[in-house]
Amino acid sequence: MKEDEGLKNLHFKEARANRPLCHFCSEHADYKLSLFRGVLASDDLDVCRSCIENETDLGAAIAEVSRVRIVSYDTGRYTTGAPDKLQSLLRTLMPQRGFKTITSAIRIAAGKPKERILMCAACREAISPETPGFVRWAIDENGKFHSIRLFHLDCWTNPGKTAAPNEWSDLDGIEKLDRSRFTLSAVEILDQIEKKWKLLNEYTTHKK
């Protein structure tokens, strides 16, 4: 596992040193965008941070695609989703450490409606039994699962196909996950998500 991680890190160090130019300007690209009109990517675009945040020229290029995958040349992290959620997808690539990841997955604040206690990391909208989602994680250098995040099904198209089977789970299956494979902080987040998901299901049942 460590050897694989070393090769992966080497790959991205080389990619950073030899990154291509932005498709829309003369700056070096910060992201690679794969554009999907069907099952397979039809085009790839290298885009700098300024052009992807501005979207003036990029908007026309992604207007007719069904989903887009963004890969960061800085970190190698990637995310996939609908093109109209582009800026939200970009935010999910920003580094988050330790317990700060809890706030990207769960919003627990006084006065918040029960329907909004679980939030999608991409679109920032509520995850509930009416708008279901799934939990996703990454694998650290020690082979442990970490960096827990929640997504709507629509915000990460076909999660079972665009991510390895051991990198995601439906929320209904969260209690069956082997906690020994996760870091301690990730286990605490999972336990919180499980409790909130059960609460949402109970709340939805009582509303009917």
Share of the chain above pLDDT 90, in %: 4
Mean pLDDT over all residues of the chain? 75
Q: Which residue has the higher pLDDT, 152 or 208?
A: 152
pLDDT interval class at 101 (50, 70, 90): very low
Identify the top-confidence range among 13-22, 41-50, 170-179, 199-208.
170-179
Identify the top-confidence range among 147-156, 161-170, 177-186, 195-204.
177-186
pLDDT at position 177: 92
What is d(CA 50, CA 190) in angstroms, rounded to the nearest whole number?
35
Overall average pLDDT of the 89-113 stretch: 50
| Range 192-198 contact pairs with CB under 8 angstroms and sequence separation of 24 or more | 192/102, 192/106, 192/108, 193/105, 193/106, 193/118, 193/135, 193/148, 193/150, 196/106, 196/108, 196/117, 196/118, 197/118, 197/171, 197/172
Task: Assess whether pLDDT exceeds 60 at residue 69.
Answer: yes
Overall average pLDDT of the 45-64 stretch: 82
Task: Assess whether pLDDT exceeds 60 at residue 53.
Answer: yes
| Contacts for 182 with CB less than 8 Å, ≥ 6 apart | 137, 144, 145, 146, 190
Task: Assess whether pLDDT exceeds 80 at residue 42.
Answer: no
Overall average pLDDT of the 122-145 stretch: 85
What is d(CA 180, CA 156) in angstroms, rounded to the nearest whole number?
26
Task: Assess whether pLDDT exceeds 70 at residue 140.
Answer: yes
Least confident of 14-18, 61-65, 116-120, 174-178: 14-18
Least confident of 5-9, 19-23, 86-90, 145-149: 5-9
| Contacts for 89 with CB less than 8 Å, ≥ 6 apart | 68, 70, 79, 80, 81, 122, 155
pLDDT at position 208: 53
Please name the amino acid found at residue 55: E
What is d(CA 90, CA 179) in angstroms, rounded to the nearest whole number?
29
Overall average pLDDT of the 26-53 stretch: 83
pLDDT at position 11: 55
